[in-house]
Structure 1
Amino acid sequence: MWLKRLNKKLSNSKIGLIIALFYFVLIVASTVVSSLFYEKIYLNITQRKVSEVSVQTLNSIQTNINLMINNADSLSKMVLSNSDLQKLLRQGSMYEDLNTQAKVSSYLYKFIQSVPYASSVYILDNSNNVYSVGADILPTLPSDKIVNAKWYKHVIEKKGAFILELNGGGVTFEKGQENYVSLIRLVRDMDNMNKLGILVINIPQKSFKQVFDNISNDAETNIVILDKENQKITSLKSLKDEKENVEVNINIDNEIVRIGDEFSGNDTGYKMKKLGTTEYLISYSSKNNYNWKFVSIIPFAQLSKESMTMIFIGFIIILFNGIILFICSISISRIITLPIKSLLTSMKDIEKGVFNEVRIKTYGYEFKKLCSGYNIMITEIKKLIARVIEEQKTIRKAELYTFQAQIKPHFLYNTLDSINSLALSGCNKEVSYLVEALGNYYRTSVSKGKEIITIREEVEMVKNYLKIQKVRYPDLFEMEYTIESNCFEYKIPKLILQPLAENALYHGIRAKGKNGTIKISAHKGEGIVILSVEDDGAGMSEEQIEDILISKDRGIEESFGLRGTFERIRIFYGNDNAYKIESKLGEGTKIVLFIEAEEKEE
């Protein structure tokens, strides 16, 4: 439905607006689509680049931790190869020789002080005695805790190679809540490689955290180290910090364990994962001999935020190109619409009767031919109008002569009718007077054979006509003439006042049934001569006046009188406003003619 309404509006719109609107919609749509594609592609590239950097960072951290553990391995070998420790353990008990024990204790204390990533050392001899050195060691540690630990048999099977266990692998070696990693290995006799005991060196969490010192501590980014069982050893941020940045209802440790499980079997990789309502970019690396996993967690919103500048720049570039294209489209549309606008303007002038040719620089063969054809059409129309005007002038003159030819018999019939009535009545003197007035009337009207006469001659004819009517109706009316002397020589069509005087007598005074007065006047106006015939007879209603002025297409019989006179004036002067009727029912009528003040030739 809305498509139909839109189509209807567009069909009535200007072509320039349609072209501009089309290009605007096209450019906006392409800009939006391009921006979305650009944003998607740029974020994918950024995601890949960031993940590669994250993996490199993880590999760097992994290398540093590998180095630290390898150092701890080397130092542990130094400890277990200590001659005093070997001597003491060969005796079967750490407490067998107190002097040697003192030397071992001194050596281990110096070892802990000189090695920052060793917080405590535990030794289990073959007699199941536990000996410990360190600041956070437990006062007592039952030997069965070590012997029954899940890793104990594994250490024996390793035959001197070390294993790593988070927080002692179930054996609590240190007080406090922070994590630590226990490097555990079998102590063997340097001479015969027999088992002498178990050595445990505990590496505190702070030693692993020192690896992160050179890592950017972004508020939204976290790096987590997981052991072989996907337990969190340490992270760039504390658990408290993580909870502030992730939804409260998400268990961070559980999610990290799941992430570790998902990456099992791969050395490196990255993926997008949604935790709660937040999407994260997770990078992973596991290039080590002890199956630890290094995981980087970056909120995807942070990548979007960091990429926003480039995305904005890209959008501005696309928008700028769109604006340039839109401006170009407007220019192209103007090349198309300007000739059309000129044609439309010219067509509107035609509605007003003004025929102007189009003079405008056009582009394109089609528009040049269109404008050329239009100008040829305008030229031909002008010629045709000129021919029609000449033909109309000829027709108007013929019509004028026809109307005049109709009026003369009309007047003669009425006059002869009057003479006949007087003769039948035996009024010979009146008949003589009437015949003399009729002769003077026709002498003025016909003697010179002209259809255009002066106002003086027209007034004389009216006087003779009213003399004739005065004989017929001696007590019915009186006459008043007010003619300015400077109006006598202006020329008018013959017999335009006489029908008005006749109308005033028959349809005005006689219709009223009382004596009245007929006033005939002429005075000069601005560029015109104003003639009027006035009576104080019956008058006319507005409907009657409107019928006379509007109803032009009447028969010949109805053309005599007012309508015929008005039509003759209209044809002769080519003006529909050359006459006016002022009348009020019961008070009289005044007919005014506005004649051009010039000596108009026949």
Structure 2
Amino acid sequence: MQAKLNKQWIKHIFLQLNSIQFHIAFSFSALILVIITIIGFVSYDKFSNTLEENAKEYNLQLTKQVKENVDYYIRYMDDISSIVQNDPSFQQYFSSNENGSFIEKGEQENKLIDLFNSFINARNDIVSIFAFGYNGQILKSNPKLKIKDDIKIENQDWYLAAKESHGEPVVSSSHVQAFVDDPHWVVSLSKELKSTDSHARKGILLIDLNYKIISEICKKVQLGSKGYIFIMDKQGNIVYHPQQQMIYSRLKTEMITQVLNAKGKSFVIDHDGERKLYTITTSHLTGWKVVSVTNVNDMIMDGKKTKKFFMMMIVISLLLSLLIAIVISSRISRPIRKLELSMKEVEMGNFDIELDFSYNHEVGRLSSSFNMMTRKIKELMQQVVEEQKALRKSEIKALQSQINPHFLYNTLDSIIWMAESDQNEEVIDMTSSLAKLFRISLNKGNETVSISGEIEHVKNYLLIQKMRYRNKLDFIIDVDPAIMSYQTIKLILQPLVENAIYHGIKNKTGKGLIRILGKEVEGKVLLQVIDNGVGMDSSKIKNIYSDEYRENSKGNGVGVKNVHERLQIYYGQDFGVSFQSEVNQGTTVSIWIPVVTL
């Protein structure tokens, strides 16, 4: 008893799982889950990308600001060099003319030193100013500063670079100014100064900027717990780095090559076991690159919380969607089950049943559509019956049209005449062709025949007519062998050939020619009957299927319309017979049929 109850329970569960209500609820829940999951992940990805893009833009603005601040000091030093160069005392003091008195030289030197010190005293960012004349004169902002005896100023890198730049300012990277007894970390601007009138080269001006200024500018920037800014020159030398000593001692490395080769304004790379964002701004004044380095995890500090929030929303949405799906599927499946019971009658073949539903939703409209479908099926079945009757009648007409009494009488009369004239070979040929003609026409009662059989039938007909008309008629058959095995309804060419003889060739002066062509064109079979007879005008072509034309025709006018109607009944409105003709030029009849194989 318990086993029977278990079996019934399992069967009930199986039916429930296989019900449309379960499928709707499951599909609806799965769809909602997929949509919410996709939206969640896309939103999270979009959110993360937006944070990253905002961080990139923020870092870019910071690096631009640092670049502008550093450029400001460089421009200030360049302005100092221009002021010194245009000062008359400088022009006279560093002149190669030695005619000035010692007193005048002393006064000029004091004025220049005062000028230098005015710049230094005005702000604390300038450490020292030196002027090295090509005439051997040397000026220092602080006369107490001593230049080391073992140092040749002319061999210093900043001196050589300024001399080669011909008046353009040269900014050196951060370094220790080692040619004086009291060295400092500085950033130097060196520039060759020239005469204001003759552009004669006077000497080299050296301005040292306190390195702490650069350091303070960069340290003010906040880039998370692990972010920082460093500056490098166009050759890849470090100008500033918060861990500069570790860089020099090779305890830390930077992505110098990647920064120099970067094509964009930023890139993300794994470095020192962390994923970092490098943002780069290049100074057009110095060629230096200001680089901000940010830890990607610092940019998205709440990434895990955001992901957890999205996962919770997905779970809650799934539970809600499951509850809604159960309710909706129940309401949908109830009328469908009623519809299923009503349709059982239709499955048994009762097309007279009418479903009666008062629902205004899709199920009600489905019931209405089903009623329309059953009525349409009944109509189509009746239409098929009527078409089959019409097809049989047209085939009988086609067979009758082929056995034209006049044609049969004339053929037999020709056979008798040739027999009396002892033309035995011609008698045999005509009798054989006539026998083949009727045998293919009957075709054992089959409705269709191969195209090769249809060609053979019309060939026998043409052979009989050629023997009757002798020098009046000739024919050519040119059909692509590839289509010979295709199937067609029988007796479609002979009525058209007969029409061509009686309406085109018979009334023509001289010898007539009929060509039978066949080929496949764009997935369809094209058969053509072409004659060089008297042709027709457009009015005759228009009325060729009319009763008036058949009554006035001396040949078998019934056959032309019969062929066209049978083709459309068998193959549809896209197929049939068409005419092209010109008076005294001939007529082309085209038959279009589908490609049908056994």
TM-score by length of 2: 0.46
Q: Considering only CA atoms, is the larger Rg found in Structure 1 or Structure 2? A: 1
TM-score by length of 1: 0.46
